């Protein structure tokens, strides 16, 4: 019905040749210059980001000195109450990587984009996952990978090893084409989407967007085959960048056209009697 | 205040000046704008690069996921037939592996019936070819150096001809307590008119030029809309030049100061 096993009219003369070329391709693919976003980044955006992120050495020294005094104060715990000796020591969080000095060669760039669909209907019937896999293939052009659960969750009748989600990881030109499609076609078609929040980002250069099931039909490839899907699901898009902090990541993604807006408080919170 | 141009400062350790008498900042400071029109079309490779790109494109084509034809098209429909035609044409261009060229399968006969009639209405017309605009515009053919639609795959920079007859980036004085960015914006408006929409990158300069009586700092900007219209008192003429054209137009000494700010494309 889905035609996942369909074969087109072309057959490889030898299977060995096909696998050999697949290995060759993976190692030698040109990364990120054949697309609009790739060339824009290399020729224009990278320079602009370097200029905007540049901190003069004197200012940088002042910032580092201030950071050092802050860390020193935190270590010595000069502020606040003395520590409670009966309480156990907190786990020390791994320190974030230091912000590197801005050079002409280390502007942030997108490393990979993961499109992920978690299919709750697959709990009852694992064949529902086929919809998710097909949707991912239609949107990204890459065959999706099935994800099995790692833990049990009795409240949702989830057992370890059940296939529950599908994902696709995109790199290089495919990733940039997907991002371009998202920003230029899908997001503008969404109802009442204004952009990512300024608080978005995981602090280490990762940004996530979550979408309702209504959004998947907005992709141009889905227009043709929308009716053939028995199950329409929402999806998440995780953008991994080489930025080390949220502001750098925001700068990069806004350069690619992703809007960022301040979260607006609801009226009830702004005015209280 | 930036003591070195960005191009010099990046990637090199700062050294002290050997002579204490010469200071980077002279008595007079001028603010200019490196205004650029970014490339509009993609760059196309030629020669060996083009062959390489074609080879990688072919590798990707043969190693990509098989197109689920049965999923997208109804069997025997005219849309499927059209797609098969296009695919056969594409596959027949088997450049790099003539030994493993797949056999050309003849197309199925299109069956006209009730199914195909309904399918025709909903099927996407894939044989509709996309009409590409030409990469060479009218401005390219006529050599109109004032046009913003010339050399679509290159970066163009705004040059103005000063009253002395020298070609340079639009530069002007810094007045009073003005910040460099404000001075640059004001100078650009005075020289090029108000009908130009510009985005200046950041607050600081990307380059400088030390002349005998002044030091000029240049802030990078992108033209978003509009066109320059030079004030006759401040500038005799203007043009939008590529990197090579700028090198040919400005003086050799001026070129040494500005060349590191420019894009290679």
Cα four-point dihedral sign B43, B46, B48, B54 = positive
Domain boundaries, chain B: 21-39+154-261, 48-129
Q: Are A55 and A102 in contact (CB under 8 A)?
A: yes
| Nearest-angstrom CA–CA distance, B165 and B167 | 7
Q: What token pair was written down for B62?
A: 């043969």
Compute the average pLDDT of residues A43-72: 93
Q: Specify whether the CB–CB gap between A194 and A259 falls below 8 A.
A: yes
CATH number of the structural domain A110-261 = 3.30.1440.10
User: With an 8 Å Cβ cutoff, are B11 and A10 in contact?
Assistant: no
CB contact under 8 A, A224 and B6: no
Selected residue of B10, B39, B77, B199 to mutate for chain A interface (largest A Cβ count, 10 A): B10
**Set of chain B residues whose Cβ sits within 8 Å of the Cβ of A48:** 201, 220
Provide mean pLDDT across the span A150-162: 92
Per residue in B4-49, pLDDT (tens digit) is 445 444 444 444 444 444 455 547 999 999 999 999 999 988 889 8
The 10s digit of each residue's pLDDT in B228-239 is: 999 999 999 999
- Domain ranges within chain A, ordered by starting residue: 1-28, 110-261
Residue B122 has a pLDDT of 42
> Under a CB-based contact definition with an 8 Å cutoff, are residues B197 and B182 in contact?
no
Q: State which residue of chain A sits closest to B56, comparing Cα positions.
A: A29
The Cβ of residue B142 has, within 10 Å, a number of other Cβ atoms equal to 10
pLDDT at A27 over 50: no
Q: Does position B247 have pLDDT exceeding 50, yes or no?
A: yes
Instruction: Compute the distance between CA of residue B228 and CA of residue B223 in angstroms, rounded to an integer.
Output: 10
Q: Does B132 have pLDDT greater than 90?
A: no
Smallest CA–CA distance, residue A108 to chain B, in Å, is 16
For the record, the structure tokens of A136 come out as 């991912």
* Candidates B68, B95, B103, B122, partner chain A, best to mutate (most A CBs within 10 A): B68
Please give the backbone phi and psi of residue A26, each rounded to the nearest 5 degrees, phi first: -60, -35
DSSP A121: G
B248 Cβ contact partners less than 8 Å away, ≥ 6 residues apart: none
**CA-based diameter of chain A, in Å?**
78
* pLDDT, tens digit (0-9, with 9 covering 90-100), for A69-87: 988 888 776 656 777 778 7
Residues 89-148 of chain B whose Cβ lies under 8 A from any Cβ of chain A: 91, 97, 99-102, 105, 124
The C-alpha atoms of residue A197 and residue A195 are separated, in whole angstroms, by: 6
pLDDT single digits (tens) B74-104: 888 988 898 888 888 877 776 666 666 666 5
Judged by CB atoms closer than 8 Å, whether chains meet at B68 and A4 is answered as yes
CA-nearest residue of chain B to A225? B72
Residue B144's contacts (CB-CB under 8 Å, 6 or more residues apart) are: B138, B150
Strands (E), B22-117: 28-37
Chain A residues closer than 8 Å to B84 by CB: 9
Interface of B with A in 32-91 (CB under 8 A): 38-39, 42-43, 52-53, 56, 59-60, 62-72, 84, 87-88, 91
Mean pLDDT score of chain A: 85
CA atoms of B172 and B233, how far apart (whole Å): 13
Alpha helices in A41-142 (DSSP H): 46-53, 57-76, 129-140
Q: Please name the helix (run of DSSP H) or strand (run of DSSP E) that holds residue B60, with its range, or none.
A: helix B48-63
Closest CA to A158 of A169, A173, A143, A147: A147
Give the number of A-B residue pairs with CB atoms closer than 8 Å: 113
Structure ipTM: 0.79
| Percent of chain B residues topping a pLDDT of 70 | 77
Query: Is pLDDT above 80 for A47?
Result: yes
Say yes or no to pLDDT of B215 above 90: yes
Range of weakest confidence among A178-187, A259-268, B194-203, B211-220:
A259-268
pLDDT per position as a tens digit, A126-136: 999 999 999 99
Task: Give the Cα separation of B79 and B73 in Å (integer).
Answer: 7
Mean pLDDT, chain B, rounded, equals 82
> Is the per-residue pLDDT at A137 higher than 70?
yes
Q: What pLDDT, on a 0 to 100 scale, did the predictor assign at position B17?
A: 41
Q: Which CATH superfamily is domain B21-39+154-261 in?
A: Nucleoside Triphosphate Pyrophosphohydrolase (3.90.79.10)
Query: Encoding tokens for residue A96?
Result: 């974030």
Q: Lowest-pLDDT range, B57-71, B96-110, B195-209?
A: B96-110
- Structure confidence at residue B256 (pLDDT): 96
The CA dihedral of B184, A259, B195, B255, to the nearest 10 degrees, is 40
- Mean pLDDT, range B202-216, rounded to an integer: 94
């Amino acid at each position: 019905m889905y035609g996942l096993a369909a074969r087109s009219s072309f057959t490889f003369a030898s299977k060995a040749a096909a696998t050999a070329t697949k290995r060759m391709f993976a190692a030698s693919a040109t990364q990120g210059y054949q697309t609009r976003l790739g060339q824009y980044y290399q020729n224009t955006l990278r320079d602009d980001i370097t200029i905007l992120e540049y901190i003069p050495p004197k200012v940088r020294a002042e910032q580092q000195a201030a950071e050092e005094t802050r860390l020193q104060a935190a270590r010595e715990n000069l502020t606040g109450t003395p520590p409670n000796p009966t309480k156990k020591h907190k786990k020390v969080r791994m320190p974030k990587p230091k912000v590197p000095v801005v050079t002409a060669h280390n502007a942030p760039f997108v490393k990979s984009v993961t499109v992920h669909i978690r299919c709750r209907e697959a709990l009852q019937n694992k064949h529902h996952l086929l919809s998710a896999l097909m949707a991912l293939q239609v949107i990204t052009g890459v065959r999706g990978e099935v994800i099995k659960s790692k833990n049990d969750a009795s409240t949702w009748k989830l057992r370890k090893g059940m296939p529950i989600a599908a994902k696709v990881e995109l790199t290089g030109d495919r990733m940039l084409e997907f991002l371009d499609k998202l920003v230029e076609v899908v997001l503008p078609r969404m109802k009442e989407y204004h952009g990512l929040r300024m608080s978005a980002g995981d602090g280490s250069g990762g940004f996530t967007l979550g979408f309702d099931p209504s959004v998947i039909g907005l992709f141009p490839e889905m227009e043709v085959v929308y009716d053939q899907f028995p199950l329409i699901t929402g999806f998440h898009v995780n953008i991994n960048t080489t930025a080390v902090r949220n502001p750098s990541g925001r700068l990069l993604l806004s350069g690619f056209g992703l809007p960022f807006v301040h979260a607006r408080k609801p009226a009830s919170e702004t005015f209280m009697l | 205040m930036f003591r070195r141009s960005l191009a010099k400062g990046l990637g090199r350790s700062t050294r002290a000046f050997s002579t204490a008498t010469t200071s980077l900042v002279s008595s007079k400071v001028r603010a200019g704008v490196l205004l650029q029109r970014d490339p509009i079309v993609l760059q196309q490779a030629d020669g060996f690069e083009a062959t390489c790109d074609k080879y990688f494109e072919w590798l990707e084509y043969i190693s990509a996921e098989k197109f689920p034809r049965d999923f997208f098209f109804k069997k025997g429909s005219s849309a499927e037939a059209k797609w098969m035609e296009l695919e056969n044409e594409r596959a027949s261009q088997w450049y790099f592996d003539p030994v493993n060229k797949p056999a050309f399968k003849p197309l199925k006969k299109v069956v006209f019936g009730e199914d195909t009639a309904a399918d025709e209405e909903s099927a996407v017309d894939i044989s509709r070819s996309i009409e590409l605009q030409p990469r060479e515009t009218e401005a390219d053919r006529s050599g109109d150096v004032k046009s913003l639609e010339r050399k679509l795959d290159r970066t163009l920079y705004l040059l103005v001809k000063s009253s002395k007859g020298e070609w340079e980036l639009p530069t002007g004085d810094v007045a009073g307590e003005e910040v460099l960015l404000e001075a640059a914006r004001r100078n650009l408006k005075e020289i090029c008119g108000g009908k130009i929409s510009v985005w200046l990158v950041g607050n600081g300069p990307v380059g400088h030029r030390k002349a005998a009586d002044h030091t000029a700092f240049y802030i990078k900007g992108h033209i978003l809309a509009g066109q320059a219209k030079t004030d006759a008192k401040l500038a005799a003429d203007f043009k939008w030049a590529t990197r090579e054209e700028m090198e040919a137009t400005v003086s050799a000494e001026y070129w040494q100061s500005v060349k590191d700010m420019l894009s290679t494309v």
